[in-house]
Amino acid sequence: MQSIRTFSLILLFLWVAVAVVVNLFGIELFFPFSAEISGQEEMFRLYSVRFAVGCFFLLVIFRYLCQLRPWPSLIVIYWYGIFWMISSCIYAVKMDIKLDELHHLIWAVILLVLIRLEIRQKVKETRDSIYKRDYF
């Protein structure tokens, strides 16, 4: 199971790397592997990402002000994904997005579950709190 999670994280890394590189050449690549989406869906994704980033920044700043320990990198990705899923649901209802246009959320849920399992595995391997080590 751990090799499946590691393989999935490698695929996620490669997908994001390809998306960043092709964006430099003016090609927009949307998750998962869509080169073109409707204008409404593009605005939906923009709004949901912007809302998720705002919520995530609020959480990070709150944690800093309360002087809590920093998060390991996988937990950062996991919490951003949680905020993105919440904001996607909010904006899907608000913008009246059809369910057949939300298929990318299924892939995101699968990735979040795999990331959560990987985080739990790291905690078990260290036998202590995950906050004592950073996995950069």
Tens digits of pLDDT across the chain (136 residues): 667 777 877 877 887 787 778 778 777 666 655 556 667 777 877 788 888 989 888 888 888 888 777 777 788 888 988 998 898 888 888 888 777 777 778 878 888 888 888 888 776 666 555 555 444 4
In-domain check, residue 81: yes
In-domain check, residue 10: no
In-domain check, residue 20: no
Per-residue confidence (pLDDT) for residue 36, from 0 to 100 = 63
Per-residue confidence (pLDDT) for residue 65, from 0 to 100 = 84
Per-residue confidence (pLDDT) for residue 30, from 0 to 100 = 62
Range of the domain at 67: 38-130
Per-residue confidence (pLDDT) for residue 131, from 0 to 100 = 52
Per-residue confidence (pLDDT) for residue 1, from 0 to 100 = 62
Per-residue confidence (pLDDT) for residue 83, from 0 to 100 = 92
The number of folded domains in the chain is: 1
In-domain check, residue 5: no
Residue burial 60-71, b: 16+ Cβ < 10 Å; e: rest: eeeeeeeeeeeb
Whole-prediction pTM value? 0.68
In-domain check, residue 8: no
In-domain check, residue 22: no
